Amino acid sequence: MPRSSPSLSNLARAAEFESRLLGQIPFTPTESQERFAHVWSRFIVSEKPRCALVLRGYAGTGKTTAVGAVVRTLRDARQKCVLLAPTGRAAKVLAGHAGQDASTIHRHIYRPKRNPEGGTAYGLMPNRRTDTLFIVDEASMIGESGGLPSGGFQYRSLLDDLVEFVYSGHGCRLMLIGDDAQLPPVGASESPALQGPKLRDAFDLTLAEVTLNDVVRQELDSAILSNAHDLRMRMAVTDVHNPVPLPHFEPGPGLQRVFGQELEDLLVDLHAKHGEDNLVVITRSNKRAVQFNQQIRARVLWQEDDLNAGDRLMVVANNYHWLADHEELATNLIANGDTLIVDRILSRFKRYDTPFAEAEVRLADVPDYPSFSVHINLSVLTSERASQSRAERKALYDEVSADHSHLGSKGKIHEATNADPCYQALQVKFAYA
C-alpha cells in the first residue's frame, strides 16, 4: 500500500538519485535544473499511486540535457525507462540525445486485432513492463484526438490511450516533456498533455511539475535563442485587447537573414553540403509547404514527375495495413510523422477520380529493414490540407465499398473495403518542407 509520507529509506534513495542526476549534467547546473533534479528524485522513488511528472522548458534551458541525464542515471542504477515521442522525427532526435532507442507513441502502444466482423481493428497493447519510467518528449504535440477509432469515423484521445497504457503496468510512471509556448495540437488552443491541473483531475494522477526557465551558459550567444526569448517575453504581456507588434529579428550566431533572390542558391549549396536528411524548410502553412516542396523538387533536386525514386515522404496519417504481415517488426504501424524513402515506382493509375501510385519504399528510421510495396494516394501530396478530411475519407470508403457490394453482407463488404489497397493507400507529403 502507498504510504502517506516518504520513509527514511526513500528519502535516502531520493538523495542518492538527486546526486547521481546532477553528476550526469556535464556543466554547472542552473537553479531550475537543480530544482528539477530534486523533484525528479522524489518522483522516481515515490510510493504514491499513478505518479507523473511534467517537465516544461523552452529552447536553451537544458531540457535535452536533463533528459539525457535521467536516462544515464537510470541506466547506471539498472532501472528501466522507455523513450517515446509523437512523431518519427521527434523519436529519432530524442534517441540521438539520450543514447537509447526511442519509438513513436503509436508504434509502441497499439496493436492490430480481429473484430467480430472478421476485419482488422486496433487496440492497446498490454503493458507488460513493471517499474518502468515512460519518458515522452515533445508532449505539446499530443492532442485530445488521434487515438484509436471508437466506432464509425470518431476517434478516442491519444492522451487517454497513452495514460491508460502506462498505468496498466505495475509500478510504471510517466514523465511528459515539452514547451507549452510551442504551437498546440491542430484545433486546440493549448497543449493538454502539459496542463498540470487538467492532467491531475482527468487521470487521477499524483503529479509533480517543474519548469526550466534559466538559460544555460552554452546557449547565451545563440541568436536563435535571443530572438525566441524576446518573442516569448512579448507573448507574456500581450492579449487580444493589447496586441504587441512582432519584434524585428536580429541576425547573429546560428541565424542568417536570407533574401528571396538568394534562397535557391542557398538551398542548392545546403543540400549538397548536408544532404536531404539534415535540411528542412519551415514555413507557416500547409499551402506554403506544398509550394516549397514543389519548387525544391523541381529547381534543387531536378525531379520532374509527380513522384520519383529517391523522393523523401512524410506520412501524415497512421496506417496499419502495409506492414500487417511483417512480423519481424515490433509493430505494423506506419505512423504519422514517419519518413519514407521511395526506392522504385511500380505503376501509376487512377481510380475513383483519384491518382494513385504503387511503389517500393523503405522506413528512413529503420535503415536495415528492406523496402516493401505500398499504394500512395497522390492527391494528398499536393493538397493544401494536412491530410484527408473525415468527409473525404468517408466518401472514399463509400466508393470503395460500392465496388464490393456483390459480397452481400455488411461484414464482408466492410472487411473487403478495409483490405482494399486504394482505401488503405498511404497519405503522405514531401518531406523537404
Cα 86–Cα 147–Cα 315 angle in degrees, nearest 5: 50
DSSP string over 96-116:
HHHTS-EEEHHHHHEEEEE-T
317 & 197 share domain:
no
Q: Is residue 253 in some structural domain?
A: no
Q: Is residue 79 part of a domain?
A: yes
Pair 297, 385 in one domain = yes
- Which of 200, 219, 238 terminates a domain? The answer is 219
- Are residues 302 and 197 part of one domain? no
Q: Are 206 and 163 a contacting pair, CB within 8 Å?
A: no
Q: Are residues 77 and 209 in the same domain?
A: yes
- For residues 244 and 237, the answer to whether their CB atoms sit within 8 Å is yes
The sheet with strand 339-351 has its strands ordered as 372-377, 354-363, 339-351, 312-315, 428-430
pLDDT tens profile 268-295: 888 888 887 788 888 888 888 988 888 8
Strands (E), 252-353: 312-315, 339-351
Per-residue pLDDT of the chain (433 residues; tens, 9 = 90+): 344 455 658 888 989 999 999 999 888 888 999 999 999 999 999 999 999 999 998 877 888 889 999 999 999 999 999 999 988 778 878 888 888 888 888 888 987 666 655 555 668 889 999 999 999 999 988 876 655 544 433 446 889 999 999 999 999 999 999 987 776 666 666 788 888 888 999 999 999 999 988 777 656 677 877 777 777 777 777 776 777 777 777 788 878 888 888 888 888 888 888 887 788 888 888 888 988 888 888 888 888 888 899 899 999 888 888 888 776 666 677 878 888 999 999 999 999 889 999 999 998 877 788 889 999 999 999 888 888 888 888 998 999 988 888 888 888 888 888 889 999 999 999 888 8
232 located within any domain: no
Output the DSSP codes for 408-430: -SHHHHHHHHHH-TTTTPBPEEE
Co-location of 202 and 348 in the same domain? no
Does residue 322 contact residue 333 with C-beta atoms inside 8 Å? no
Number of domains in the chain: 2
Of 197, 219, 241, which closes a domain? 219
